[in-house]
Amino acid sequence: MSPETISAFKKQFPDVVENEPMSKHTNLRIGGPARLFIIANEPSVILDAAAVARKLDIPWIVFGGGSNMLVSDSGYDGLAIQIAFRDVKLRQQTATVEAGAIMSAVARQTAEAGLGGLEWAVGVPGTVGGAIYGNAGCYGGEVKDSLVSVDCYDIKTGKPEVYPNAKCAFGYRDSRFKREPHVIFRATFKLTPTDPKPLKKRIEEILQMRKAKQPLEFGSAGCMFKNFVFKDESELERLKQDVKEIPADMLAKKAISAGWLIQQAGMLGEKIGGAQVSEKHGNFIINLGDATAQDVLMLTSKVKMKVRDDYNIMLEDEVQLIGF
């Protein structure tokens, strides 16, 4: 980006920050500088900034909690917009939530209000926008189960849209938003009025399970790889040749846990530089303190190659790569 372009952007957005370290905004605590950085406290800030960026030919991205991103060591040579509008409105059977609200906090708030359906999301560190983008899920629930509609902005057409659930093309850690660029502004979830006590109990159970199974004391991006979903019986038969003794729960779900495969491949504790495959959970790559994005990328490649060589399975990334 040329100095002229930057000063033209600054004229319209005097509060823009230059060279903001993305390591301050990602859960992995990794990432070089965003050349330009703004925090959007309301949707109009994004629309205004995007219009100026488009005019000046500046690439731009939005993000939320940075809990599912690996940003390159050289950073992002464009405008990074962090979404920070977080209003939550609860009604009798619905929650209308702005994209910057923290998913885990929404899970607690709705449970305390006696609205069931989002308990699974407690402990998901990102925002509602990020959760919709990747159809986040765990512990038997996912975004698509209770989402009614999404208010967003279609970047290609420049038009606001409201998509009902059926038009979001949700799949396993997937949605249309991964393939067609949009900014998610807010969403409505349908919830079930319930006694708050069992909801709060479930929340505590999930938090305990997370603490026991996940290396929460280190920076990470959560699960690095998608679980391997097998399509049919013939694929399963092929897999059984390579992967011995697949646990019954995985056979029932027709998905082999990537963490389990990585463990079977003997990769727990594997290190490159400051990045390590967690000894607690094979699908978490943790930052031991001084990891670079390069360390993480090299380690993910090593893990993928070992799993491919041992089991003939190509693991797919769950984490979003920015600035590579």
Ligand X SMILES: Cc1cc2nc3c(=O)[nH]c(=O)nc-3n(C[C@H](O)[C@H](O)[C@H](O)COP(=O)(O)OP(=O)(O)OC[C@H]3O[C@@H](n4cnc5c(N)ncnc54)[C@H](O)[C@@H]3O)c2cc1C
Site residues (vs ligand X, CB under 6 A) = 27, 61-69, 83, 99, 103, 124-127, 129-131, 133-134, 136-138, 177, 182-184, 214, 216, 220-222, 320
State in angstroms the smallest separation of the CB of 73 from ligand X: 17
Q: Which residue, 199 or 243, has its beta carbon nearer to ligand X?
A: 199
The whole-angstrom distance between residue 59's C-alpha and the CA centroid of its chain comes to 21
Tokens of 297: 């990328």
Tokens of 104: 């885990």
Half-sphere exposure of 281 (CA within 13 A, CB side): 21
Task: Tell me the one-letter amino acid at 6.
Answer: I
Q: Which residue, 13 or 172, has its beta carbon nearer to ligand X?
A: 172
State in angstroms the smallest separation of the CB of 4 from ligand X: 27
Query: Among residues 27, 29, 30, 46, which one has the least CA distance to residue 38?
Result: 46
Tokens of 320: 């979003």
State in angstroms the smallest separation of the CB of 273 from ligand X: 20
Taking the C-alpha atoms of residue 70 and residue 54, their distance in angstroms, rounded to an integer, is 25
Residue with tokens 């694929």: 235
Q: Which residue, 49 or 99, has its beta carbon nearer to ligand X?
A: 99
SS3 content of the chain, % helix, strand, coil (to 5): 35, 30, 35
Q: Which residue, 133 or 311, has its beta carbon nearer to ligand X?
A: 133
State in angstroms the smallest separation of the CB of 248 from ligand X: 22
Task: Reduce the DSSP state of residue 63 to 3 states and report it.
Answer: strand
Task: Classify residue 323 as left (phi > 0), alpha (psi -120 to 50) or beta.
Answer: left
Q: Which residue, 161 or 310, has its beta carbon nearer to ligand X?
A: 161
Alpha carbon distances (Å) from 229 to 140, 180, 257, 294, 316: 16, 24, 9, 28, 11
Query: Among residues 149, 271, 278, which one has the least CA distance to residue 213?
Result: 278
Residue with tokens 């041992």: 310
Q: Which residue, 131 or 277, has its beta carbon nearer to ligand X?
A: 131
State in angstroms the smallest separation of the CB of 137 from ligand X: 5
Q: What's 317's DSSP letter?
A: B
Q: Which residue, 63 or 163, has its beta carbon nearer to ligand X?
A: 63
State in angstroms the smallest separation of the CB of 211 from ligand X: 11
Q: Which residue, 138 or 239, has its beta carbon nearer to ligand X?
A: 138
Taking the C-alpha atoms of residue 188 and residue 177, their distance in angstroms, rounded to an integer, is 16
Helices (H) and strands (E) in the chain, counts: 10, 20
State in angstroms the smallest separation of the CB of 233 from ligand X: 28
State in angstroms the smallest separation of the CB of 64 from ligand X: 3
Task: Classify residue 159 as left (phi > 0), alpha (psi -120 to 50) or beta.
Answer: beta
Q: Which residue, 151 or 295, has its beta carbon nearer to ligand X?
A: 151
State in angstroms the smallest separation of the CB of 318 from ligand X: 7
